[in-house]
Amino acid sequence: MLKVHTIGGYDEVGKNMTAIEIGEDIIVFDCGLYLPAVIDLQEAERNPTPQMLKSAGAIPDDKFLLKNKHKVRAFLITHAHLDHIGALHNYAQNFPQAKIFSTPFTLEVSKALMQDSKQHLKNKMTYVNPGESVNIKGKSNTYKAEFLNMTHSTIQSTMIALHTPSGIVVYANDYKLDNNPIMGKPPNYNKFKQLAQKGVKVAIIDCLYADSDRKTNSEKIARAMVEESLLKVDHGKNAIIISTFSSHIARLKSIVDFSKKLDREIVFMGRSLSKYVNAAKRVNQCPFQNDVRIATYPSQVKSALKKVENNRSKYVVVCTGHQGEDGSILDRLVKNKLHFNFKKNDSVIFSSKVIPAQVNITHRAAMDKKLKQRDVRIFDNVHVSGHGGREDLREMINLLKPQHFIPSHGGFDKTIPGMNLAKELGYIENKTSHLCKNGSVVEIR
């Protein structure tokens, strides 16, 4: 028998964590942050302590795992987004014997986060490239964990298949089915079918957009949108400022590729951009590393912006701040806190969408208002999602044919539509499909 403990990410979009208990062993998938709580905290305290994060509900609950500390064998992290890896350095220190496995880019990001917060983990960290597998030693069993290449909105994302004596557990949180990714390979559908043939016992699948009747567009479409907004619009001699998700290395590649065609110099600004781009460089996953200059520290940002101010037609600035985050480069630009003043007809391209948490909605509305007051042109939603829609979910379930299905990546507003689709596909609630909350336990025989 195996037990699925849905620890975090089942009441909210964030702090993803699911633990699989097989007899004397526990293997944990993901260890993320609930970002809206972190942002709220950071408005009062720049570097919140682990205790502050815990009491604000920003990291997954640790009661169950602490009670069973001696059984925790490994943390398997699917990808580098903060809602999947951001809590690891605050969490895994309580389980020093547990090994950490993830892709090189993901672990490099984790190391950079640790450096930022001056923390250190004793846990052994092991790189697993997409497509590779590892063996995890339990008390009396050895478990094979396959890190299957999966398309999403950051590089080296994976779907994990954990082989246990009670059957295969598939954890697909997060995913999209992108047949034309800009970096990395398309999903390996043959491998999915092989897993289905062997028999998948339970699949935990990202249902963030299970209520959207769509198949999510490929990143190739986002690339075309970036091209349109940069090359098919007359930006004249005005400034061009672009903001996107710092971890979205493939999107940054598209932005750099088309900016080069404009014959403008490309400057990246902001600490988080620099963190992710440097992590990508360290693992040889940064195809544009020779095409951009990175301004990380205040003095570098200051001197770069002075040049942009005086020669606005010569540069494309790529910066942080698409969610209107306090203290981001774009936020400070808009608030006139940096050495640059927006002028009429300057362009701001948001290669992003507002993540629907109240804090982001409020921040972005205030930012957009200030930009409009200065007659800045705004190109919003130059973006496609990294999460599958309802039709991707249908494909996933049909490909993997799991005996049991658990919807994840949000509260009931996200997971009930997943349950409804499962019902359409023949699953029976509480028998073969399971609606979970944080702290639920599903026993599977």
- Which spans of this chain sit near Zn ion (rule: CB under 5 A)? 81, 174
Q: 157 vs 328, which CB is nearer to Zn ion?
A: 157
Q: 11 vs 174, which CB is nearer to Zn ion?
A: 174
440: tokens are 């639920």
Least distance to Zn ion, CB of residue 238, Å:
34
Least distance to Zn ion, CB of residue 427, Å:
25
C-beta of residue 78 within 8 angstroms of C-beta of residue 173: yes
Q: 230 vs 250, which CB is nearer to Zn ion?
A: 250
Q: Which residues pair with 317 in a beta bridge?
A: 241, 267
Q: Which residues pair with 161 in a beta bridge?
A: 146, 170
Least distance to Zn ion, CB of residue 84, Å:
6
Q: 35 vs 239, which CB is nearer to Zn ion?
A: 35
Backbone angles phi, psi at 380, to 5 degrees: -100, 160
161/152 Cα distance (integer angstroms): 17
Q: 81 vs 235, which CB is nearer to Zn ion?
A: 81
294/178 Cα distance (integer angstroms): 30
Q: Say which amino acid occupies 72.
A: V
Q: 85 vs 295, which CB is nearer to Zn ion?
A: 85
- 66 by Cβ neighbours in 10 Å (0-12 / 13-18 / 19+) ranks as exposed
Helix (H) or strand (E) holding 83: helix 82-85
User: Residue 310: CB partners within 8 Å, gap ≥ 6?
Assistant: none
193/401 Cα distance (integer angstroms): 9
324/218 Cα distance (integer angstroms): 26
Q: 81 vs 201, which CB is nearer to Zn ion?
A: 81
220: tokens are 């190739």
Q: 81 vs 99, which CB is nearer to Zn ion?
A: 81
Least distance to Zn ion, CB of residue 30, Å:
10
22/28 Cα distance (integer angstroms): 11
User: Residue 46: CB partners within 8 Å, gap ≥ 6?
Assistant: none
Helix (H) or strand (E) holding 278: helix 271-282
Q: 85 vs 286, which CB is nearer to Zn ion?
A: 85
Least distance to Zn ion, CB of residue 81, Å:
4
Least distance to Zn ion, CB of residue 301, Å:
28
Least distance to Zn ion, CB of residue 357, Å:
15
232/228 Cα distance (integer angstroms): 5
Q: 81 vs 404, which CB is nearer to Zn ion?
A: 81
Least distance to Zn ion, CB of residue 144, Å:
24
Best CA proximity match to 65, nearest among 31, 41, 34, 39 = 31
Strands 440-444 and 2-8, sheet pairing: antiparallel
Least distance to Zn ion, CB of residue 23, Å:
31
Helix (H) or strand (E) holding 390: helix 390-400
Least distance to Zn ion, CB of residue 79, Å:
6
Least distance to Zn ion, CB of residue 112, Å:
17
145/161 Cα distance (integer angstroms): 6
3-class DSSP state for residue 281?
helix
Q: 106 vs 433, which CB is nearer to Zn ion?
A: 106
